[in-house]
Structure 1
C-alpha cells in the first residue's frame, strides 16, 4: 500500500518504520524544519539537547522495544535521579520513601500517610476501577489533611491549572505505577534512562531505516488538506518548501497531529468531530538556561507553591555530564498552561523577567550573570486534560 503519514514526531516515524518493515510504500510529511516533534533537539555546547526535557522510565517498554528493533538498545543508559520538592518556602529531598519521613513541612502522621497512600495506589492493578473518580476527590477522601494540601494539591493545580479538579484518577495511578517501576535496590533509588547522543540517536536511526527501505521523509512540508472522494481518503495536499501546493495520491492516510488540529485537514462526521474536540489540551512553555553554576543538587524539582509562576525545574546536568554541553549547566524551567493564558503569549525576555526572581528561592546565591545562553520553546499541545471515563471518549483510530 501507498501510505501517507502526517507528522514526523515519535509516533509518525515509529509508524513509518513499522510500515516500511512490512513492505509498504511510505511517505512522511512534517511542517517543521526538523523531525522529532517534542523530543527534537537543538545544538548546545557541541551536543544535541532536547527542546523539551526528556527521559525514559524503566517501564517505557514501547520505546525500549523500538530501540531493540533498531539495534541501538545498548545506547540507552540508566542514571540515578535525585528529586526535590519545594514547599512552605523550603527545598526538601523527596527521592526515596525515607525522604518523605523527613518532610517536616507537614506533620509526622501526614508524612506516614503520604508513603502508605502511595503504596496503596501501587497495589491497585486495574485502573479501570478508578475511571469514574477524579484524582482530587480520591486524594481528598483517602489521603486528605496536610499531605494533600501541601504536596499533591499544589502539584495538581500547578500542572493542570483550573482543570486540576477534573483530572481522572487513572492519570494519578499511572504516575505512581511509573515511579515505583523505576525504583531499584533497597534504598528505592529512581533510575531514569537517556540515550547516548540524545534522543537524536533514535530519530536518526529511524530515518535511516525508513529511507533504506524506500520511504520518504519531507520536512518543512505542511499538509493542508486530506483529499477525499466518496467518503474515502485518497491523498494529501501539501505545501512544498518553495511554497507550491502539491497533491499526492495514497491508499491510506495516518495522521499524528493533535486532536484539535485534525478537523482542520478534513471534513468529519459531527459525532466523530465532537469526540475529537471534547479533549482539551494544555500548552507548555519551556525555557532552557545554559549556566556557569548549578542551581541545586537535584535533577527534578517539584514545585508545590502557587506563588511561583512555573511548574518545575529540571537540571539536566545534575543527572548527565555537563561536559557534554561545553561544561555548561543545563536548567529547564517548565510550565503547563492554557493557550489563552497571558503567560503563553510572553516573549522569551518577558518570561525571564517573570521567572528569574524566583530562582533565588532555590539558591540564594543565584545571579543573572550565571546565564550564558537562553533557549525558548512553546508547545501548543503538550498535555491533554485526562478527565473521568477518558477511555470512553477516545475516538477509534480509524475515521468513519
Structure 2
C-alpha cells in the first residue's frame, strides 16, 4: 500500500516504522521544520535538550520495546527521582507515605485521610468507575474541604484553568497516580524515571535511520491543507499539489483534522466526538542557571496566586555536568490561546514569573540566569469530560481509508511519549489488517 502520514511526532514516526517494515510505501508530511513533536530537541550548553520536559516511567513498556527493536536497548538510564509540592510558603517532599505525615499545612486527621485515600486509589484496577464522576466531586467527597482546597483545587486550576477544571473526570487522576506508582521500585521511597542517554534525540535519530533504510520520505516544513476521499483513493493536498494514497493516517489534533477534512461533517456523531475535546497549549520557559532553584526534580505549585503550575528542574534528575555545570529548569504552564500568559513575549513572561520563583527560593537572583528559551506548543493538553470512555473517537474514521491517531484518543492515561508509541503501533497494525 501507499500510505500518507500527517505529522512526524512519535505517533506518526512509530506508525511509519511498523508500516514501512512490513513493506508499505510511506510518505510523512510535517508542518514544523523538525521531527519529534513534543520530544523534539535543541542545543543547550552543547548538549541536546527537549523543548518540553520529558521522562519515562518504568511501566512505559511500549517505548522500551521500541528502543529494543531499534537495537539500542541500553539507551535508557533509570534514575531515582524526587517530587515535591510548594504550599503555604514552603516546599514539602512527596516521595513516600512518611512525607504525607509531614505535610503540616493539613491537620493530622486530614494527612492520614489523604494517605489512606491515595493508597486506596493505587490499589484500584477498575478505572471505569471513575469515568462518570468529576475529579472535583470525587476528591471533595473523599478528602474533605481542607485537603481539597489546599492541595487539589490549586493543582487542578493551574493545570486546566477556571473554565475547564471542573470538567475533568476522576479517571484522569487515577491514570496519573497509577502511572507514578508503577514507577516506584519495591522498597524505595521514590520513583525511578527513565531518560535516554543523549536525550530523546538518540531515539529519534535511530528511528529516522530505520525509516530512511525503509525508504520513508519525511517532508518537513510541509503543512497539509486538505484531505479528500475519492472513489478508489484518498487525496492529500500539499503546496497546491494533490497526492493520492491508498490510506492516510492523521495525527493532528481534532480541531485541525476537522478543518483539513470537511467531509467529516457528513458524519455528525464522529464530528461530535471530535468536538467534545478542548485543548490547552503549553507555555514553556527554560532557564539555564548558575544555581539550582530547589533540590526537587518535579515541584508542583499548590498556590492559586502563582502564574505557573510547576517547575521541573531537569538537572535534579540528569547531572548538571552534562550541561557544563549549569542547572536547567522548565517553568511550565497550560493555558488557552486567549490567556495573557500565552500572549506574553519572553521578557514579559520572565518579569511575571521571577517574583514567584523568589518566593520558592528567596536567594534566587536574576543574575543566575545564564540563558533562557521560550516555547509555545499548541494543543498540547487535551481536556475530556466525564463518560469520555463511551465517546473516544475510533481510529478508523467515517471517511474511507482515513485513520486518526492523536492524544485525544489516549484515555484514561494522560498523553505521553510511551502512549504515542503504543498508539502508533496499534493504528499501523489496524491499517494493515483492514
TM-score band, normalised by the shorter chain? over 0.9
Equivalent residues in 2 for 1:280-295, closer than 5 Å: 280-295=278-293
Q: Is the 8 A contact 2:276 2:384 kept in 1?
A: no
- The structure 1 residue matched to 2:246, chosen from 237, 247, 251, is 251
**Secondary structure at the counterpart of residue 356 of structure 1:** helix
Quick one: distance in 1 between partners of 2:130 and 2:281?
Answer: 26
Quick one: distance in 1 between partners of 2:85 and 2:48?
Answer: 28
Quick one: distance in 1 between partners of 2:144 and 2:73?
Answer: 43
Q: Give the superposition deviation at 1:249.
A: 1.6
Q: Give the superposition deviation at 1:160.
A: 0.9
Q: Residue 310 of structure 2 corresponds to which residue in structure 1?
A: 312
**Secondary structure at the counterpart of residue 125 of structure 1:** coil
Quick one: distance in 1 between partners of 2:9 and 2:188?
Answer: 36
Quick one: distance in 1 between partners of 2:233 and 2:98?
Answer: 56
Quick one: distance in 2 between partners of 1:60 and 1:235?
Answer: 35
Q: Give the superposition deviation at 1:326.
A: 2.1
Any idea what the Cα deviations from partners look like across 1:138-169, whole Å, max 9, x if unmatched? 11111113222211121111111121111101
Q: Residue 371 of structure 1 corresponds to which residue in structure 2?
A: 369
Q: Residue 345 of structure 1 corresponds to which residue in structure 2?
A: 343
Bigger shift: residues 28-37 or 150-159: 150-159
Q: Is the 8 A contact 2:7 2:30 kept in 1?
A: yes
Q: Give the superposition deviation at 1:185.
A: 3.5
- Name the TM-score, length of structure 2 as normaliser: 0.89
- For residues 288 and 282 of structure 1, do their structure 2 counterparts lie closer, same or farther at Cα, with a shift above 3 Å needed? same
Q: Give the superposition deviation at 1:21.
A: 1.1
Q: Give the superposition deviation at 1:378.
A: 0.6
Unaligned runs of 5+ in 1: 240-244
**Secondary structure at the counterpart of residue 164 of structure 1:** coil
Q: Residue 242 of structure 1 corresponds to which residue in structure 2?
A: none
Quick one: distance in 1 between partners of 2:183 and 2:113?
Answer: 22
**Secondary structure at the counterpart of residue 274 of structure 2:** helix
Q: Is the 8 A contact 2:227 2:236 kept in 1?
A: yes
Quick one: distance in 2 between partners of 1:233 and 1:38?
Answer: 31
Q: Is the 8 A contact 1:70 1:206 kept in 2?
A: yes
Any idea what the Cα deviations from partners look like across 1:364-383, whole Å, max 9, x if unmatched? 11010110111011111111
Quick one: distance in 2 between partners of 1:233 and 1:327?
Answer: 55
Quick one: distance in 2 between partners of 1:23 and 1:70?
Answer: 17
Q: Residue 322 of structure 1 corresponds to which residue in structure 2?
A: 320
Q: Give the superposition deviation at 1:319.
A: 0.8
Q: Give the superposition deviation at 1:357.
A: 1.0
Q: Give the superposition deviation at 1:270.
A: 4.4
Q: Give the superposition deviation at 1:68.
A: 1.6
Q: Residue 184 of structure 2 corresponds to which residue in structure 1?
A: 183
Quick one: distance in 2 between partners of 1:376 and 1:246?
Answer: 34
Q: Is the 8 A contact 2:227 2:261 kept in 1?
A: yes
Any idea what the Cα deviations from partners look like across 1:10-50, whole Å, max 9, x if unmatched? 10000000101111100111110100001101101111100
Q: Is the 8 A contact 2:103 2:111 kept in 1?
A: yes
Q: Give the superposition deviation at 1:233.
A: 5.0
Q: Residue 170 of structure 1 corresponds to which residue in structure 2?
A: 171
Give runs of ≥4 in structure 1 deviating > 4 Å.
none
Quick one: distance in 2 between partners of 1:64 and 1:307?
Answer: 39
Q: Is the 8 A contact 1:4 1:235 kept in 2?
A: no
Quick one: distance in 1 between partners of 2:366 and 2:139?
Answer: 39
